[in-house]
Amino acid sequence: MRIAFGLEYDGTDYVGWQRQKSGTGVQALVEAALCKVANESIDVACAGRTDAGVHATAQVIHFDTDALRSDRDWLMGVNSNLPDDICVNWVKSVDDQFHARFSATARRYRYLILNQAVRSALLHRRTWWIHEQLDERAMQTAADLLLGRHDFSAFRAAGCQASTPVRAVTELRVSRRRNCIEIAITANAFLQHMVRNICGVLAAIGRGEKAPQWAGQVLQGRDRKKGGVAAPAHALTLVGVDYPRIFKLPQTACNDDFHS
């Protein structure tokens, strides 16, 4: 039997999604909780391997099991064995054709910048504080240059293991609500650190350090060393994963509006 879960987690205290030899990954805790409920060894696959410090409101995983449990038993049982900063939002039985990673058609991330003179005591774990006034219109002009299917080598981490640097970005929107700037980005898939590196470039343009055209020059140059500094991980959240309707997965409620 194949089961799919929708997860949310605060990534602050973890080395990322993936199980690691040193440090605690979210995956390790989820698998341990599943093993207790299923009374058997469980390995899970996820939609996207978030980096250390990155959060999620809509991570999707699947696993195979011989254990017979109701959806409610899976939900309540696993959540009772997870720490407070990791939670299962929904459970659904799926057929063997479903794969959390390979069946996904798009991933959506949200990056938050707190743009005000004084830091925030309440939002410091969810936003990148930049005290200089940012020009969100210039940032959007730059963002438009990154839309489409491109070689994103200039925005990938040195240790990225993806077989190809080509990705299709279908949305890259910069918007301001009072003192908070939101960068929303959707793509078929992402390279390691790709979103953070894009946000770093947009922030430099927002500060006026570079012209908007610089984003396109970095993209075409395909050289990570010329792409500026990566934005901090703690302001990044995985907020959505899209799948074909045939799988009929629940819609995950978005509990990430920290700046309202």
Q: Do residue 44 and residue 149 come from a single domain?
A: no
Q: Do residue 170 and residue 230 come from a single domain?
A: yes
Task: Check which CATH number belongs to the domain holding 226 and give it.
Answer: 3.30.70.660
44 occurs within a structural domain: yes
> Residue 256 pLDDT more than 80?
no
> Residue 253 pLDDT more than 50?
no
DSSP 182-247: EEEEEES---TTHHHHHHHHHHHHHHTSS-THHHHHHHHHT-GGGS-PPPPGGGEEEEEEE--GGG
Provide the pLDDT for residue 19.
86
Provide the pLDDT for residue 161.
84
Among residues 86, 103, 120, the one where a domain terminates is: 103
Pairing of β 166-177 and β 55-64: unpaired
Mean pLDDT for the stretch of residues 154-177: 93
Q: Do residue 208 and residue 152 come from a single domain?
A: yes
Q: How far is CA 168 from the centre of its chain?
A: 16
Mean pLDDT for the stretch of residues 163-168: 95
pLDDT-above-70 percentage for the chain:
97
Q: Do residue 110 and residue 222 come from a single domain?
A: yes
Q: Do residue 224 and residue 146 come from a single domain?
A: yes
Q: With contact defined as beta carbons under 8 Å apart, do 43 and 31 qualify?
A: yes
155 occurs within a structural domain: yes
Mean pLDDT for the stretch of residues 137-166: 94
230 occurs within a structural domain: yes
Q: Do residue 6 and residue 93 come from a single domain?
A: yes
Mean pLDDT for the stretch of residues 17-41: 93
223 occurs within a structural domain: yes
Residue 123 DSSP one-character state: S
Domain count for the chain, please give it: 2
Catalytic hit among 10, 13, 43, 51 = 51
pLDDT in tens, 185-196: 999 999 999 999
138 occurs within a structural domain: yes
Range of the domain at 175: 106-238
pTM for the model: 0.93
Task: Check which CATH number belongs to the domain holding 99 and give it.
Answer: 3.30.70.580
96 occurs within a structural domain: yes
- Distances 202 to 140, 142, 196, 244, 260 between C-alpha atoms, Å: 8, 7, 10, 32, 23
150 occurs within a structural domain: yes
What are the structure tokens assigned to 125, written together?
A: 């774990």
Dihedral pair phi/psi, residue 257, rounded to 5°: -85, 70
Q: Do residue 86 and residue 159 come from a single domain?
A: no
Among residues 75, 103, 131, the one where a domain terminates is: 103
Residue 242 annotated as catalytic: no
DSSP 137-184: HHHHHHHHTT-EEEE-GGGS-TT---S--EEEEEEEEEEEETTEEEEE
Q: Do residue 29 and residue 141 come from a single domain?
A: no
Provide the pLDDT for residue 250.
87
112-121, 138-147, 222-231: lowest mean pLDDT where? 222-231
Q: Do residue 125 and residue 166 come from a single domain?
A: yes
Question: Which tops the pLDDT comparison, 41 or 228?
Answer: 41
207 occurs within a structural domain: yes
Q: Do residue 55 and residue 98 come from a single domain?
A: yes
Provide the pLDDT for residue 258.
42
Mean pLDDT for the stretch of residues 101-126: 95
> Residue 49 pLDDT more than 70?
yes
Provide the pLDDT for residue 252.
58
Q: Do residue 116 and residue 233 come from a single domain?
A: yes
On average, the pLDDT of the chain sits at: 93
| pLDDT band at residue 160 under the 50/70/90 scheme | confident
Among residues 103, 137, 156, the one where a domain terminates is: 103
> Residue 255 pLDDT more than 60?
no
Q: Do residue 75 and residue 189 come from a single domain?
A: no
